[in-house]
Amino acid sequence: MDDAPDSADEHLVREAEKITVALGRMFPGLCEVVLHDLRDPDHAIRAIENNLSGRQVGDPATELGLARIADPAYPSVIQNYPNRFPDGRPAKSTSIGIKNAAGEYVAALCLNLDVSVLSPVTLALSNLVATDTEHRDQPLETLRDRTARELREAVEAQAAERAATPRSLSREDKKALVRQLQRDGYFDSRDAAQTIADLLGVSRATVYNYAK
C-alpha cells in the first residue's frame, strides 16, 4: 500500500510523457517540448522532444521547476513568458505544472517556441499585406461587382445618417449621395444607375446628371 502514491505519480508522469512527444512532433524545428520530473530535481528532464536548447534527458531542473518543488502554491501555468535559448535565440515559453492528488507538483511540461524563426516570416507577411496610404481618399477599383443588395444597403445607410428615407432626401442630399456612391465604386456594376434611380425615386438620367 505504501507504494500506491508513488505508482500514481509515475502514472501521471508517463501520461505527460506521451503529450510531450506528441506536441514536439506537431511542431518540428519550431517548438521544443520538455517534461521535467520534479520528484528528482537533480535529474529532472524526463523527456525532451524537438530539442532546440541542447539539453539532455537527465539534466537538472530549471529555476522555475525548483520554485514549484519548494512551493505547492506556485502558479500552475506560467504562460507566454520571454525566454532565450543558450545560443541567444529568443523564445516564447509556457510552463505547465502537474500536481498529484495530494496537491504536490510531480512534473512540469514546458514549451519553448523559437520566435527567431517566426520574426522574419511575420515581417514578410506584414510587408505583403500592407497597402499604400497615398490614395486612401481615392478608391481606384473594386475587385468584385457591387450587388444590388449592397447598393441598396449603402443608399439606405447614407439616407439614415440624414434621418430620412432615400426618396425623402432633398435634391442636394440625393446629389451628394450619388456622388459618394460613385466614389465608392458602385457605378462599376451593371444596372447600378437604374437601381439607384429606383431607390431615390428619380429617373436614370437624373442619376447620371447628379454624378457629373
- Are 163 and 104 members of one domain? no
Which domain range does residue 67 map to?
4-116
Q: How far apart are CA 21 and CA 57, in angstroms?
A: 13
Q: What angle do CA 154, 155, 156 make, to 5 degrees?
A: 95
- Are 160 and 103 members of one domain? no
pLDDT of residue 185: 83
- Are 97 and 195 members of one domain? no
- Are 89 and 166 members of one domain? no
- Main-chain phi, psi angles of 36, to 5 degrees: -100, 125
Note whether residue 41 is domain-resident: yes
- Are 101 and 156 members of one domain? no
The pLDDT tens digits for 117-174 are 776 666 666 677 776 655 555 544 444 445 777 888 888 888 888 878 889 899 999 9
- Are 89 and 172 members of one domain? no
- Are 68 and 163 members of one domain? no
Least confident of 1-10, 98-107, 181-190: 1-10
Note whether residue 127 is domain-resident: no
Which of 76, 96, 116 terminates a domain? The answer is 116
- Are 37 and 86 members of one domain? yes
Q: Strand, helix or coil at 199? A: helix
Q: Where is pLDDT greater, at 146 or 65? A: 65
pLDDT of residue 144: 46
pLDDT of residue 201: 92
pLDDT of residue 142: 45
Domain count, the chain: 2
pLDDT of residue 140: 45
This prediction's pTM? 0.57
